[in-house]
Structure formats: C-alpha cells, structure tokens
Amino acid sequence: MAERDISFRLFVYDRIDPTDASLDWLESKGVMITRGPALWQTVGRYSEDAIIAEASSHDAVMGASGARFTRRVIQALPQLRFISKFGIGVETIDIAAASERGVLVSNTADPLSIQAVAEHTLGFILGLRKNHLHWTAQYMQAGGWRPGYFSDVLVGSKVGLIGLGRIAREVVKRLAGWDVIIQAYDPYVTDPPPGVTMTDLPKLLAESDVVSLHAAPSGDNKHIINAAALSAMKPTAILINVGRAWLVDAAALRDALMNEQIAGAAVDVFDVEPPDPEDPLFKCHNAMFSPHAAAWTRSGLEHTGWNGARNLWAMMSGETCPHIVNPEAAANHSSRRVNL
C-alpha cells in the first residue's frame, strides 16, 4: 500500500453541502482543503484570472458552475489533475483540454436532484395552467375574484419534451395517470419509455400544449427555441425551461411573451446568473420564474456534496469511479495516488 500523500491539495471553489460534512470527511483522509464560498450563502463567479490565482498549486478542484475551466485556465494550472464537478452538466469545462493535460473530470447525477428538477417542472406546468400567476394574495387583497381569468386542466393535453434524458424520464413517470399525451424530440434516443412517442422538432412544436426543455447543451442546440420556434408553437401553449439558458433565445422569448404569441413561460435558468433585475423579461405578466433553484433542496445538495467528494476520493486513490466523463485522460494522467 502506498504511503499517504498528505500534501494533496484541493480547492473547493463552490461549497455545496450545507453541512460541510463531506469536506470534513476528505480532510480526515489527509486531503488539505482550501474552502471557497458557500453556494447557500453567496452567489459568486470567478473570472479566469481569479480561478487561476485561487486554484494555483492545488492538485484538484471541486465545485458547481461558479468557474469556467477553459483551455487557458487548465494550461495555467500545471499541478491540476482532478476536477470534481457538482451537477450533471460539464459545459463549463473544456473537456478536450482537460484530457490532453491528463486532468480527470467527474460529474454527479444525484437521484434526489434529478427528482427535484422533475418535480419543479410539474410545479411550473401546474402553476401556469392553474393560473397561479394571477390568483395571488395581492389579487385577493385588491378585491379580485374569479371574473376575467380562467384556469385549465391538463387532461387531454399534449406534452412535448425536448431532450429525453434522466430528468425528462422522471417527468414522464410523474405524468403517468394524468391522461396526457407525451411526445419527445431527442436525436440521441432510440429507446423511449412506455407512453412516449418520439417525433421531430417541428411536429412537437406545432402540436404540444406544453413544451418542456431538458436537453444537455451541445453545438447543435444553441437557441433551439428561437423566434421561429416560438412562432411555430400554439398561441395557447406554454414553455418550461429548467434545462439550460443555452437552449432559449431570451430576447425572442421576451418578445413572444409580451406579444402574447404564446400563453406563458416558466424559467429557472438564465444567460447571466443572477440576472439583471431590470431585465424586461420580469415585466411579462404571463411568466413564472425561479432562481436556478429546481434542484435546490437541502437533502439534494447534501447528497451532491457527498457524491462529488466520493468521486474525487475515488479518482485520487485509484478506485473505480463510474462518473468520470473523460476516461481518455487517463493515458496522460499522473500515476501519483493517495492511500486509503
């Protein structure tokens, strides 16, 4: 058994576990940790220069999306060998550059977080269809009652899912028994779950009463919901985005909502986070919002923190880690390990 390498240094640029117990666990194993800001207390974003300065001389980094590990950043951190990313998406990391430098990258696909996002999706759908935007305490206090507004039922509606990964499949499970028709567009899926019909994007947009976005960002789906796509939707349809801001042209969505080209939208993700409070999108009376909080549950964040810590320890110690997203990096990776 190799001698414990107590000089191994980790920079946690985003702390996600509200208990910090997962970091205490890593420290108990001899990892020297520099603890960055807590995501549940502050919102922080690192510039490239800032993350280079903070992560310099560290063997590993761990965090969510508060920093972008571009080719420049990775090349400026010659000691870096591991990136443990909280969350499924790794679009903030240049995977090709990491692999060339032998930097192993892992992500977390925490079941609780996946389920939380699926539940948030249903909450948005019901919030819009059941008119929760209008029937508020303020409306009632102003003397408002039912006239002038109507809610709607989901029964008989057609729900279109763009992207049919793990979160979308959890949405499908939750819609079972609701007497809805579910169709999906995903060019990478050939095995839809029971009750889902695969279709093309134009048909999905034209027919769906609810369009919900769950695709991972890729080179061919940036602004997949643009002015043309919004024009193709029913005027009675609603759009749900708990996926990525990358998927939606925000200006086109704002215009479509202001012109009542579609009935409504619910948005959890933004091009700039936190968004500008003066963004005209927030003035749209037919839109719901949440602050990138679809997966923001205490239990889910604890699980994600532990999964990220275990991923890192597995990579460091040479254990099998099924969540490495670039196994090809192993060919260029340093063999130095730490002892269990």
Instruction: State the average pLDDT for the chain.
Output: 92
163 and 45 inside one domain: no
Token duo for residue 72: 């420049």
Q: Catalytic residue at 146?
A: no
Query: Which CATH number does the domain housing residue 328 bear?
Result: 3.40.50.720
Q: Do residues 285 and 308 share a domain?
A: no
Domains contained in the chain, number: 2
Does residue 153 share a domain with residue 102? no
Nearest-angstrom CA–CA distance, 181 and 158: 5
pLDDT for residue 42: 73
Q: Where are the alpha helices (DSSP H) in 130-163?
A: 137-141
Tens of pLDDT, residue by residue over 46-81, are: 999 999 999 999 999 999 988 999 999 999 999 999
| Per-residue confidence (pLDDT) for residue 1, from 0 to 100 | 34
| 141-173 confidence digits (pLDDT tens) | 999 998 778 899 999 999 999 999 999 999 999
Annotated catalytic residue within 244, 303, 310, 323: 244
Q: Tell me the residue ranges of DSSP E strands in the chain.
A: 9-12, 32-35, 60-63, 82-85, 104-106, 158-162, 181-185, 196-198, 210-213, 238-241, 264-267, 287-289
Q: Which two tokens stand for residue 197?
A: 């019909």
Annotation marks residue 298 as catalytic: no
Residues 143 and 102 in one domain: no
Q: What is the pLDDT of residues 125-144, one digit of tens each?
A: 999 999 998 888 998 999 99
**How far is Cα of residue 113 from the mean position of the Cα atoms in its chain?**
9
The pLDDT assigned to 339 comes to 44
Burial class (CB in 10 A: 0-12, 13-18, 19+), 15: buried
Q: Shortest CA distance to 170 belongs to which of 295, 58, 289, 36?
A: 295
Say whether both 210 and 308 belong to one domain: no
Q: What are phi and psi of 5, to 5 degrees?
A: -100, 90
pLDDT at 3: 44
Q: Which of 101, 169, 254, 292 is catalytic?
A: 292
Q: Would residue 3 show up in a list of annotated catalytic residues for this protein?
A: no
pLDDT of res. 5:
46
The active-site residue out of 273, 285, 298, 319 is 273
Q: Which residues contact 104 (CB under 8 A, 6 or more apart)?
A: 81, 82, 83, 98, 315, 324, 326, 329, 330, 333
Pair 304, 282 in one domain: no
48 with 164, same domain?
no
Q: Which residue has the higher pLDDT, 47 or 6?
A: 47
Q: Is residue 267 domain-shared with residue 302, that is, in the same domain?
A: no
In this prediction, residue 331 carries a pLDDT of 85
Range of the domain at 202: 111-289
* Residue 249 and residue 135 in one domain: yes
The mean pLDDT value for 213-226 works out to 94
Q: What pairs with residue 159 in β-bridges?
A: 182, 210
